[in-house]
């Protein structure tokens, strides 16, 4: 493993240098880049730490934004196929637990970087527990980016502490999650620990609680107007400040940044084709459908979705993950839909599509990044969670924020065992819900989502809640730097500023 030779010279107006360390997975890397861009705009010098393949995937977005980059070689001879440096490239979902443990091997070069070139702060993915320990040993403040919402953090924490799921016998029996600002009911089959059956998952959550002790605060992709009760709840139960700086997708303001977000210029033709198609559709008439970058659905379920969209009679853009079986379904549905629908294989410019005036509804898996993108542009959601924290997010969107309608899936897919579960919702349900979401019955929900979008955009502007939260975190970093300077922490390495 090696560290790139790119120099790290502080030239930022604020004098603050921050390292950003994402988990190698699109749903984690993309918002981390957005966060780094936000702090750059506030005057910090921001450096992303990635592996070569991930750096190449997001290179144009990184360099356009004035971000610095350090690369660590991805560990080799670990049992993973060559080139699998990102979770979405794994040939089997069952390899994710092993993948996460291989990523932990990046701890040593990270420690070396901190020793040779210490920053003023580290912002790292909550999955990367070793970044908390390594930073604390050098008295460098580490801020944890959990990827999820404050609501999901609160739910997961209370499930771990109180274990109410142990008091029910059936996987479909509802139980109350105690200690939350709202009455939230879940079932066993909707829990992260059920849909992500890594035998070490509970152990990981327990280690994460231990790592909290070495964590300075939380950096969360949310905004005060959306999640204020749960922001306060997280601060109260963890004893750590929550810096709510979202929606982070609003960090890119140019059309190029928005169109290339999450990818590069090589797919510009896809963006142009889809946006041109949307230009020819009436306002709020299109449903956009995507289940995220790492979701996998059985072929039978893909068919029900595709034919349900066609039968709805609603214009649609449907993003289908890559793979031989999904390609077959995509081709079949595309041929039947004709110009009434656009079926996209692999990647689409999600934020640009959601922000287009022709899109009225987003059918989503409820990954938190997708939820914040919908709120940023004021679009209501049809929720269809599949695994991990997604059922928690559905509860928030439907019950708390009231900006979405559930598709009605009672259970998700167990990670790596999707084919065994088969079809969860049929084409009739898909067609019915899609039609409803763009009709008069959903008008009040669409209006509320639009109003939330206005609040989201205000929050990121100067003087807004998210803007001020970034400033508060910058001040917190300065405070810690002052304390370290007084204590002479840098020692023989000297002050880097």
Over the stretch 472-483, which tens digit does the pLDDT of each residue have? 999 999 999 988
What are the pLDDT digits (tens) for 351-383?
999 999 999 999 999 999 999 999 999 999 999
Contact 296, 421 (CB under 8 A): no
Distance CA 194, CA 111 (A): 34
Q: 124: part of which helix (H) or strand (E)?
A: strand 121-125
Residue 471 confidence (pLDDT): 97
> What's the pTM?
0.91
Judged by DSSP in three states, 452 sits in helix
Q: Which are the contacts of 280, defined by CB distance < 8 A and separation ≥ 6?
A: none
Q: In the chain, which segments carry CATH 3.40.50.2000?
A: 17-145+461-493, 253-457
Average pLDDT, the chain: 89
Closest by alpha carbon to 371, among 356, 384, 387, 359? 384
Q: What are phi and psi of 144, to 5 degrees?
A: -90, 130
Which residue's entry shows tokens 């934004």? 65
Q: Where are the alpha helices (DSSP H) in 138-285?
A: 150-162, 192-195, 201-211, 224-238, 255-260, 268-279
Q: Which residues pair with 121 in a beta bridge?
A: 18
Instruction: Indicate the DSSP class of residue 464.
Output: S
Residue 492 confidence (pLDDT): 44
Residue 73 confidence (pLDDT): 95
The yes-or-no verdict on residue 276 having pLDDT over 90 is: yes
Catalytic residue among 28, 68, 263, 365: 28
Residue 400 confidence (pLDDT): 98
Residue 1 confidence (pLDDT): 40
The mean pLDDT of 10-36, rounded to a whole number, is 87
CATH topology of domain 17-145+461-493: Rossmann fold (3.40.50)
For residue 28, indicate whether it is catalytic: yes
Q: Which residues of 335-367 are buried (b: 16+ CB within 10 A; e: fewer)?
A: eebeeebbbbbbbbbbbbbbbbebbbbbbbbbb
Integer CA distances (angstroms), 14 to 48, 124, 418, 476, in order:
18, 21, 49, 13
Closest by alpha carbon to 192, among 422, 406, 390? 390
- Range in 1-5, 52-56, 69-73, 193-197 with the lowest mean pLDDT: 1-5
Residue 2 confidence (pLDDT): 44
Q: Output the furthest CA–CA distance in the chain (Å, rounded).
A: 70
Closest by alpha carbon to 391, among 165, 127, 89? 165
The mean pLDDT of 336-350, rounded to a whole number, is 93
For residue 68, indicate whether it is catalytic: no
- Range in 167-171, 390-394, 449-453, 484-488 with the lowest mean pLDDT: 484-488
The mean pLDDT of 454-467, rounded to a whole number, is 96
Residue 254 confidence (pLDDT): 65
The yes-or-no verdict on residue 8 having pLDDT over 60 is: no
Judged by DSSP in three states, 341 sits in strand
Report for 188-202, 410-424, 426-440, 472-486: range of highest mean pLDDT: 426-440
Residue of higher predicted confidence among 208 and 48:
48
Domain boundaries 253-457, CATH class: alpha beta
What are the pLDDT digits (tens) for 114-151?
999 999 999 999 989 999 999 999 999 999 999 999 99
What are the pLDDT digits (tens) for 257-268?
676 665 656 567
Q: What are phi and psi of 5, to 5 degrees?
A: -90, 10
Q: Which residues pair with 184 in a beta bridge?
A: 177
Catalytic residue among 120, 125, 198, 389: 125
Distance CA 388, CA 280 (A): 37
């Amino acid at each position: 493993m090696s560290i790139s030779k790119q120099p790290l010279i502080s030239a930022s107006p604020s004098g603050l240098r921050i390292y950003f360390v994402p988990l190698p997975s699109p749903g984690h890397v993309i918002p981390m880049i957005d966060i780094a861009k936000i702090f750059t705009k506030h005057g910090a010098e921001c450096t992303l730490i990635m592996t070569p393949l991930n750096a190449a995937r997001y290179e144009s977005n990184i360099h356009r934004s004035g971000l610095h980059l350090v690369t660590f070689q991805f560990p080799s001879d670990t049992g993973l196929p060559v080139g699998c440096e990102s979770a979405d490239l794994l040939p089997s979902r069952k390899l994710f637990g092993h993948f996460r443990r291989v990523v932990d091997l990046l701890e040593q070069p990270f420690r070396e970087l901190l020793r040779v070139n210490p920053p003023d702060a580290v912002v790292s993915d909550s999955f990367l527990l070793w970044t908390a320990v390594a930073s604390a040993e050098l008295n460098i403040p580490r801020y944890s980016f959990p990827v999820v919402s404050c609501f999901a953090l609160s739910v997961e924490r209370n499930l771990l502490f109180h274990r109410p799921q142990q008091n029910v016998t059936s996987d479909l029996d509802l139980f109350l999650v105690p200690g939350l600002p709202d009455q939230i009911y879940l079932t066993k089959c909707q829990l992260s620990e059920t849909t992500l059956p890594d035998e070490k998952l509970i152990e990981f959550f327990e280690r994460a609680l231990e790592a909290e002790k070495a964590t300075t605060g939380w950096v969360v992709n949310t905004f005060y107007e959306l999640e204020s009760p749960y922001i306060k709840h997280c601060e109260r139960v963890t004893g750590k400040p929550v810096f709510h700086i979202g929606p982070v997708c609003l960090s890119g303001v140019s059309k190029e940044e928005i169109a290339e977000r999450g990818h590069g210029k090589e797919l510009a033709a896809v963006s142009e084709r889809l946006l041109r198609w949307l230009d020819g559709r009436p306002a709020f008439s299109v449903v956009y459908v995507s289940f995220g970058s790492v979701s996998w659905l059985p072929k039978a379920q893909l068919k029900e979705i595709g034919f349900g969209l066609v039968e709805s009679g609603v214009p649609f853009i449907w993003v289908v993950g890559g793979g031989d079986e999904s390609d077959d379904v995509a081709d079949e549905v595309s041929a039947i839909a004709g110009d009434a629908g656009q079926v996209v294989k692999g990647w689409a410019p999600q934020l640009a599509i959601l922000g287009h005036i022709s899109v009225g509804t987003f059918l989503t898996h409820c990954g938190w990044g997708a939820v914040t993108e919908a709120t940023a542009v004021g679009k209501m959601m049809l929720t269809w969670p599949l695994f991990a924290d997604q059922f928690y997010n559905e509860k928030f969107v439907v019950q708390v924020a009231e900006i979405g309608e559930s598709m009605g899936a009672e259970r998700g897919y167990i990670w790596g065992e999707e084919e065994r579960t088969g079809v969860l919702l049929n084409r009739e349900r898909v067609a019915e819900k899609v039609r409803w979401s763009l009709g008069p019955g959903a008008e009040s929900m669409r209006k509320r989502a639009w109003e939330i979008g206005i609040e989201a955009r205000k929050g990121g502007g100067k003087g807004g809640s998210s803007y001020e939260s970034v400033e508060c975190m910058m001040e917190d970093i300065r405070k810690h730097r002052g304390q370290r300077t007084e204590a002479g922490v840098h020692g023989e390495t000297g002050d880097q500023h």
